[in-house]
Amino acid sequence: MTTLFYLLAYLATAGFFCLVFLKARAYLRASPLHVRWELYPVPHEGAKTAYGGSFMEEKDWWTKPRHISYFGDIKALVTEVLLLHATFEHNIKLWFRSYPFHFGLYMLMGGTIIVLLSAVARIFGLSPDSGLMVLVGNVINAVVLVGSLCIIGGGIALIHRRMTDEGLNKYTTPEMYFNIGVFVFFGILGLFAWIDASSFFTLACGFLHNLLTFNFEPQPSTWFALHLLVGFFLLIWIPSTQMAHLFMKYFTYHDIRWGDEPTTYNERNKSIIPNALKYAVTWSSKHVTGGTGSKTWLEVATSNPAAPKND
């Protein structure tokens, strides 16, 4: 059983990265060229971001090399990820429930990285009883306690909000309740493991050290083992559900929202547009004539919907 436990850890980790890669690749291959939102300010405009400007303000912009402020994009991404800025700005009531939940997840993910580095340090000879390890252990123990409580409290608050808010309740599926519920359960098991053990850090660091050195020792804590098993499940489950926004949000939100690169600068788009113009138009409006599927976008784009019709 002990060997199986460690095999599950290897499979869950490998499966997570494989599923993330496959999901991102499938999305990029299947998604058509998106329509620009034309929403400003765009973070990578540099100094122009302050007043919502664009590089298109410049005279003959299409003849000049384009300069992108990647720092602006990174800053906006970090602000959104770490602070849930958009939720805070547009739905403060939801933010008070969602942010603790996400903050708890960030703490546990960050703590896992630190524990992993500590396990690597042990492999290279750093003593578990060294002052540095003791300091790191105390920090991780505090992080796990706060992170678990935030996940539990935030998760329960999110479930309650979705059940009682008329707008959210309409669009909340049983799977969404299950997803949040699993994280709450994960947090509860982590909290019980923290209470049961003299040092959660010792358990976690020992497990990762054994995992890296292929030393399949039994887990000394049942609560910690159960906590890990739910964690293995989450690694496989997350990429397969709407919780995949953990890594897909950039492609489905930020890239579309900030994707303002003109065709002039993008050879890939130049090759996609001719094929996209061959798609049939299945809807119509005052500014778009079509709707029957008999016209292509090329025909629509080269016709005037306001022109007089011949009887």
Retrieve residue 1's tokens.
């059983």
Contacts 24+ apart (CB under 8 A), 46-51: 46/72
What tens-digit pLDDT sequence spans the chain (311 residues)? Answer: 899 999 999 999 999 999 999 999 999 888 877 777 667 888 999 889 989 888 888 999 888 888 889 999 999 999 999 999 999 999 999 999 999 999 999 999 999 999 999 999 999 999 999 999 999 999 999 999 999 999 999 999 999 999 999 889 999 999 999 999 999 999 999 999 999 999 999 999 999 999 999 999 999 999 999 999 999 999 999 999 989 988 898 888 888 888 888 887 788 888 888 888 888 888 888 777 777 788 898 888 888 877 776 65
Contact between 61 and 55 (Cβ < 8 Å): yes
Retrieve residue 34's tokens.
């998106």
**Can you tell me the distance from the alpha carbon of 95 to that of 229, in angstroms, rounded to the nearest whole number?**
30
> In CATH, what number does 2-31+100-241 get?
1.20.950.20
Backbone angles phi, psi at 177, to 5 degrees: -60, -40
Single out the residue of 62, 25, 68, 17 nearest to residue 43, CA to CA. Answer: 68
Please write the tens of the pLDDT for every residue from 175-203: 999 999 999 999 999 999 999 999 999 99
Please write the tens of the pLDDT for every residue from 250-277: 888 888 888 888 887 788 888 888 888 8
Domain boundaries, the chain: 2-31+100-241, 277-311
